[in-house]
């Protein structure tokens, strides 16, 4: 029609080829959301189960992802360096991941929570795509997220122990922890509450890393845009291969030796 | 941490100030999705009710939207020219709208469909943001979408009438309509099936336009980033003001005189 | 060749249609450059003549420019809202303007300066493109530059009068002017040196604005990419139409009524 | 001033960190330009000397360049992967290189050509920046340019030999070469004109590669924005270190082993 020219105002951002695309999603206002649905403090296993299922949903239904990592209300998905999904169009990639993540989060909710979601308090997520040009910076990206998980979890664990077991008000706990080092928090937990932080759940301390059980040969890693038929076949294949949910150190070399991207 | 430098790889796209931002979402693979859940052909009122509720959800929970228009599996949201939502960061805007839309779509499903959503067949949407620098091109944008709705609906109505009432196979119907003009399709409907296209449901022919019942003074139209407090107050205000769902011509001047953006 | 794929790494930024593109160039390190070639202080007429010729060169050889404004070591060029020059590719536009400007600056040098340019001290310019979505912000852009010209010129005039006629050191002059208002500077000039700032050269006070002598109908304003032949014909036409160099107020309405872009 | 808000319409494109930035400049309309100044065919040594000097000028005055390659009317400059020049702002980088290149081209002209440049026929260049995320694609980039040089030069050499020595019209020469392979062109040169293409000038066949005579330790390769003082000191240092102009194969490993970027 005479109006079609308005489509020319669309601007695409094609993400730089041969870089690792990472899409990170993060819960919007989960401070409030977690309060509203009475998440356990500092970590609610049900909530983590839900978000892990959401991540699995993305992993299975969006092509070319080789690794995901998440904790708290966030998840990061790393795409093959050679992925040409949606021609690497940024808005398509981000919106598809965010929408798929949201859908699966809601879909998985009832399996973990008795209280159903209320229309005025639905979980939503923002998303962004970032390019990392080589494996070193990609590894540093995941290290950044895992260190963040560790720092937050140690803080939250100590904070809520002080409040729930130590009887401090939240303000008092905050003040108590102000300026403390990691070693101080470990010490508080151990000497005052007999808690050895090392014995806490690995999922809480390390977050969750998702990888394929076996390498996904020929299911979307190629550079060419696959046909609709191929996409469906690959989707089916992906739906059958098992995923591994790990709670391990992803900073050190060992993980990357086993699960890192094929660099050929 | 030593890894924080990786955050510097994030690139923001700040959408040009003083332009109308339009975010359009579109169902991913709704051809298959509508088949799987047995949508009525050519238009399923339940499905349109669900998508309209999803749009209402976005309208109410995302600031600075003054108008939305949708049909089939898509919806477009227009933001105030002066909006400074998320500092006009593209990925934030797109991902927030898409996630909120997806969440409300799923949330509204059960009110219209008996069959619950299956985890392997969840509704998901892609999204994009486009800037329109003046009211003329913005109007042309919405005209483009409404003309598209009209063309598709006339085609689909005639196609499915030929199939469902005329006994043609889908291939035969396709061939029959190949190369026909609008007038031809109107004629087929009228002379062969006694259907006057003008009497079809306005929602099918015109799509759905959403506007505020009363102008939203002081609830987010200003250029400054509002405080968390203000955001909440405005959200509350927005949740009380009624929305209008219209099925009207949005190409001609009349609509824009009444509901167009305040140009002061 | 097998290497051609590297061209796919090029990213184009297509500037938003229907907005006024402004390209601003600014001398790199002209503080040093003006010292090296002993520019007169605060304003060197020869240098302004050279930069004005450079701007004329751009005006004539780059299509779709309807207005330029410059002072000191900078110039801004405004393109027709509907220009489709280089498909509105940012790097092409900026680099072409900057290169043409640099070439003409050097070419015009000898007509104004006896001392030839030295290879170790050549004039160079940076450049950038900015989109302005409507006439109000475009006018505000030029107002911004003209106010800047005024502020700098009043400061520089007073500063160098204090130094050259008042015998102050540059440090003393700086301190003397620290915190002064426009009115204070006018007063210093008048009461201490008998200089009425209003009587200073209009070129110094207002900068230089370039417009076509007569409207350029059919010489590049259309949306379509013109043929090589047309481009040449238009270039010839442009080379014959006279340019006006004005030293006038471009903030008030009067200028825009006469020389503003055709809004049809 | 009240108008300063217009600066917020400027959009920066920060080029992805840890990638090799290549800026390529190319003469605008050099088909015409070379005709106007009667360049020798197919290769004018004077013109190549001028463009090589222009490249040297850029190499010396713009920081963080470790390699340049050029032929015909184009030159490519590769920046250190870790360069933070202009915070990696695209428009600054491109415009600075293009302006500096243009200035030095004009400045060097008189040393090679008797006929001075005419104001209506000045040399100008466009420019663009491209990011290459690893050494493989960077090498492929330069291979692409050198293969292009070879193909063009073999064609042009044969074409102009057919015209100038073989007495063909340009149209006849074009037809004669239509569809021919490299081997055919070599054969024509050899059997019809006794010319062994291998004996042609290396500069024509291989183009020109510029590298530093000795590694530039501590003169701008670091990530931090250097102080004005440091920049000047480095500039001085750069002005003293010799440059090497090579006419060698840059596709094979040997070159990169000796002159490739420090990957530490
Ligand atoms: N009690 C509890 N809270 C959790 C759990 N997981 C996440 N949260 C809460 C703690 C934080 O307040 C919040 C995540 O922090 P964010 O920095 O993402 O902030 P938030 O989502 O509120 O704001 P945002 O919209 O992301 O800027 O979610 C959990 O398992 N238990
Ligand atoms: N039967 C039926 N189908 C509908 C209805 N609304 C939408 N659809 C179907 C018809 C189209 O096949 C599809 C929308 O067309 P699209 O161009 O968006 O294609 P689709 O979503 O399949 O692919 P996409 O992922 O958007 O490229 O949704 C409805 O009310 N009834
Ligand atoms: N004496 C004298 N100096 C002038 C004249 N026109 C411009 N200049 C000098 C004064 C300023 O130091 C300089 C322009 O200021 P800028 O802000 O553009 O600074 P500059 O070019 O040094 O640095 P930049 O590379 O633009 O960041 O040029 C003139 O007519 N006479
Ligand atoms: N006779 C002669 N011509 C040369 C020499 N070096 C370059 N040229 C000419 C041959 C080509 O026509 C032209 C370079 O080709 P381009 O593809 O860059 O085309 P041109 O610059 O005309 O157009 P453009 O503005 O880059 O699209 O310059 C030379 O040494 N001798
Ligand atoms: O969301 P966070 O906490 O990671 O912090 P950010 O990414 O700097 O903020 P934003 O979500 O606004 O990009
Ligand atoms: O999705 P459509 O049908 O509007 O078509 P498009 O926008 O051109 O395609 P895409 O979804 O790939 O941007
Ligand atoms: O160059 P200036 O003085 O106008 O200042 P800026 O534009 O803010 O700085 P830059 O040249 O670095 O864009
Ligand atoms: O300039 P060329 O010949 O390398 O070709 P291009 O780069 O594809 O064209 P443009 O200069 O328009 O980017
Ligand atoms: Mg955030
Ligand atoms: Mg969050
Ligand atoms: Mg979070
Ligand atoms: Mg689409
Ligand atoms: Mg769809
Ligand atoms: Mg659709
Ligand atoms: Mg500047
Ligand atoms: Mg300057
Ligand atoms: Mg300046
Ligand atoms: Mg080109
Ligand atoms: Mg050229
Ligand atoms: Mg060329």
ipTM of this model? 0.95
Q: Chain C within 8 Å of A17 (Cβ-Cβ)?
A: yes
Give the lowest-confidence range in A119-123, B69-73, B222-226, D52-56.
Answer: B222-226
- Find out whether C130 and C16 touch, Cβ atoms under 8 Å: no
What is the C-alpha to C-alpha distance for residues D81 and D67, in angstroms, rounded to an integer?
12
Write down how long chain A is: 264
Average pLDDT value for residue range A46-71: 98
Centre a 10 Å sphere on the Cβ of residue B185 and count the other Cβ atoms it contains. Answer: 20
For C7, nearest residue in chain A (alpha carbons): A17
- Find out whether B213 and B67 touch, Cβ atoms under 8 Å: no
Quick: pLDDT tens for B112-138.
999 999 999 999 999 999 999 999 999
Q: Which of D27, D70, D98, D170 to mutate to test the pocket of ligand 4 (most atoms within 8 A of CB)?
A: D27
CA D116 to chain centre: 23
What is the C-alpha to C-alpha distance for residues D155 and D172, in angstroms, rounded to an integer?
14
Q: Is the pLDDT of residue C220 over 50?
A: no
Average pLDDT value for residue range A61-68: 97
| Euclidean distance between the first and the last CA atom of chain B, given in angstroms as a whole number | 48
Quick: pLDDT tens for D184-193.
999 999 999 9
What is the C-alpha to C-alpha distance for residues A25 and B55, in angstroms, rounded to an integer?
22
- Find out whether A42 and A158 touch, Cβ atoms under 8 Å: no
Of the candidates A130, A137, A142, A129, the residue with the CA atom closest to the CA atom of residue A71: A142
Quick: pLDDT tens for B189-238.
999 999 999 999 999 999 999 999 976 554 444 455 667 787 778 777 77
Residue B264: per-residue pLDDT: 57
Residue B221: per-residue pLDDT: 45
Tokens standing for A247?
């709670």
Which residues share a beta bridge with A121?
Answer: A118
Identify the band that residue D225 occupies on the pLDDT scale cut at 50, 70 and 90.
low
Subunits next to A (3 or more Cβ pairs <8 Å) are B, C, D
Average pLDDT value for residue range A62-66: 97
Of the candidates C22, C63, C19, C100, the residue with the CA atom closest to the CA atom of residue C221: C63
Residue B219: per-residue pLDDT: 46
Residue D217: per-residue pLDDT: 54
Q: Chain A within 8 Å of D234 (Cβ-Cβ)?
A: no
Report in angstroms the alpha-carbon separations of A224 from A61, A88, A219, A231, D261. 18, 12, 12, 12, 31
* Helix/strand/coil for A64: coil
In this structure, what are the phi and psi dihedrals at residue C242, rounded to the nearest 5 degrees? -75, 150
Which residues share a beta bridge with A42?
Answer: none
Subunits next to C (3 or more Cβ pairs <8 Å) are A, B, D
| Enclosing H/E stretch for A129 | strand A125-132
- Residues near B112 by Cβ (< 8 Å), separated by ≥ 6? B46, B47, B49, B50
Identify the band that residue D220 occupies on the pLDDT scale cut at 50, 70 and 90.
very low
- Cα of A214 to nearest chain B Cα, Å: 22
The protein residue with its alpha carbon nearest to ligand 4, atom 20, reads D29
Q: Is this prediction's pTM over 0.90?
A: yes
Average pLDDT value for residue range C57-75: 97
Q: Is the CB of B34 under 6 A from ligand 2?
A: yes
- Chain C residues 50-109 with CB within 8 Å of chain D: 57, 61, 90-92, 94-96, 98-104, 106-108
CB–CB contact A16 C8 (8 Å): no
Q: Which percentage of chain A shows pLDDT scores above 70?
A: 95
Q: Is the pLDDT of residue A34 over 50?
A: yes
What is the C-alpha to C-alpha distance for residues B42 and A156, in angstroms, rounded to an integer?
54
- Test the D interface: residue of C14, C51, C69, C91 with most D CBs within 10 Å: C91
Average pLDDT value for residue range C232-249: 87
Tokens standing for A248?
């391990």
Identify the band that residue A221 occupies on the pLDDT scale cut at 50, 70 and 90.
very low
Q: Chain C within 8 Å of A133 (Cβ-Cβ)?
A: no
Identify the band that residue A237 occupies on the pLDDT scale cut at 50, 70 and 90.
confident
Q: Is the pLDDT of residue D237 over 70?
A: yes
Evaluated on CA atoms B34, B36, B42, B46, the torsion sign reads negative
Ligand 1 atom at minimal distance to the Cα of residue A74: 18
Of the candidates B224, B244, B248, the residue with the CA atom closest to the CA atom of residue B234: B224
Residue A233: per-residue pLDDT: 79
Residue A219: per-residue pLDDT: 46
Query: Looking at beta carbons, which residues of chain A come within 8 Å of B90?
Result: 91
Average pLDDT, chain B: 94
| Enclosing H/E stretch for A139 | helix A135-164
Give the lowest-confidence range in A142-146, B230-234, C45-49.
Answer: B230-234
Identify the band that residue D228 occupies on the pLDDT scale cut at 50, 70 and 90.
confident
What is the C-alpha to C-alpha distance for residues A231 and C119, in angstroms, rounded to an integer?
60
Residue D34: per-residue pLDDT: 98
- Cα of C8 to nearest chain B Cα, Å: 20
What is the C-alpha to C-alpha distance for residues A246 and C31, in angstroms, rounded to an integer?
60
Residue B216: per-residue pLDDT: 57
- Quickly list DSSP for chain B: -TTGGGGGG----BPPTTSEEEEEEEETTHHHHHHHTT--SS--HHHHHHHHHHHHHHHHHSTTEEEEEEETTEEEEEE-TT--GGGGBHHHHHHHHHHHHHHHHHHHHTTT-SSPPPTTS---EEEEEEEE-SHHHHHHHHHHHHHHHHHHHHHHHHHHHHHHTT---HHHHHHHHTT--HHHHHHIIIIIH---GGGS-HHHHH-EEEEESS--TTSS-SSSPPPHHHHHHHHHHHHHS-EEEE-S--SSHHHHHHHSPP--
CB–CB contact A99 B98 (8 Å): yes
What is the C-alpha to C-alpha distance for residues D160 and D158, in angstroms, rounded to an integer?
6
- Test the D interface: residue of C55, C58, C98 with most D CBs within 10 Å: C98
What is the C-alpha to C-alpha distance for residues A6 and B199, in angstroms, rounded to an integer?
30
In this structure, what are the phi and psi dihedrals at residue B239, rounded to the nearest 5 degrees? -70, -15
In this structure, what are the phi and psi dihedrals at residue B57, rounded to the nearest 5 degrees? -60, -45
| Enclosing H/E stretch for A126 | strand A125-132
Evaluated on CA atoms C232, C233, C236, C241, the torsion sign reads negative
CB–CB contact B3 A141 (8 Å): yes
Q: Which of B47, B54, B73 to mutate to test the pocket of ligand 2 (most atoms within 8 A of CB)?
A: B73
* Tokens 């009624």 -> residue: B242
Average pLDDT value for residue range D234-245: 85
Ligand 4 pocket: which residues have CB below 6 Å? D 26-31, 34, 39, 41-44, 47, 72-73
Ligand 3 atom at minimal distance to the Cα of residue C30: 21
Which residues share a beta bridge with C20?
Answer: C132
Identify the band that residue D241 occupies on the pLDDT scale cut at 50, 70 and 90.
confident
For D223, nearest residue in chain B (alpha carbons): B5
Average pLDDT value for residue range B138-154: 98
Quick: pLDDT tens for D80-123.
999 999 999 999 999 999 999 999 999 999 999 999 999 999 99
Give the lowest-confidence range in A212-221, B128-137, B211-220, C59-68.
Answer: A212-221
Average pLDDT value for residue range A71-83: 98
Identify the band that residue D240 occupies on the pLDDT scale cut at 50, 70 and 90.
confident
- Find out whether B100 and B93 touch, Cβ atoms under 8 Å: no
For A14, nearest residue in chain C (alpha carbons): C11
Q: Is the CB of A43 under 6 A from ligand 1?
A: yes
Q: Which of A25, A27, A74, A123 to mutate to test the pocket of ligand 1 (most atoms within 8 A of CB)?
A: A27
How many beta-carbon contacts under 8 Å exist across A and C? 14
* Helix/strand/coil for A92: helix
Average pLDDT value for residue range D234-252: 90
| Enclosing H/E stretch for C209 | strand C208-212
CB-closest option in C11, C16, C18 to A14:
C11
Average pLDDT value for residue range B185-192: 98
Identify the band that residue C230 occupies on the pLDDT scale cut at 50, 70 and 90.
confident
* Tokens 């205000």 -> residue: B237
Q: Which percentage of chain D shows pLDDT scores above 90?
A: 88
Residue C227: per-residue pLDDT: 76
Tokens standing for B262?
């305040």
């Amino acid at each position: 029609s005479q109006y079609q020219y308005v489509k020319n105002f669309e601007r695409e951002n094609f993400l730089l080829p041969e870089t690792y695309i990472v899409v990170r999603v993060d819960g919007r206002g989960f401070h409030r959301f977690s309060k509203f649905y009475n998440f356990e403090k500092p970590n609610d296993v049900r909530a983590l189960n839900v978000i892990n299922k959401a991540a699995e949903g993305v992993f299975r239904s969006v092509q070319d992802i080789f690794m995901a990592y998440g904790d708290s209300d966030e998840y990061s998905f790393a795409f093959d360096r050679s992925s040409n999904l949606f021609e690497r169009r940024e808005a398509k990639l981000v919106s598809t991941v965010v929408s798929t993540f949201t859908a699966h989060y809601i879909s998985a909710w009832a399996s973990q929570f008795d209280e159903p979601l209320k229309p005025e308090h639905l979980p939503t997520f923002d998303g962004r795509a970032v390019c990392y040009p080589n494996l070193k910076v990609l590894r540093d990206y995941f290290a950044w997220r895992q260190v963040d998980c560790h720092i937050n979890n140690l803080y939250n664990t100590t904070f809520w122990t002080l409040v729930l077991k130590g009887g401090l008000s939240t303000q008092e706990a905050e003040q108590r922890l102000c300026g403390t080092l990691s070693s101080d928090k470990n010490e508080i937990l151990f000497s005052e509450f007999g808690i050895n932080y090392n014995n806490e759940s690995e999922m809480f301390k390390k977050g969750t890393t998702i990888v394929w059980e076996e390498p996904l040969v020929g299911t979307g890693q190629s550079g060419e845009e696959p046909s609709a038929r191929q996409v469906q076949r690959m989707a089916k294949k992906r739906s059958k291969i098992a995923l591994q949910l790990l709670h391990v150190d992803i900073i050190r070399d060992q993980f990357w030796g086993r699960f890192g991207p094929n660099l050929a």
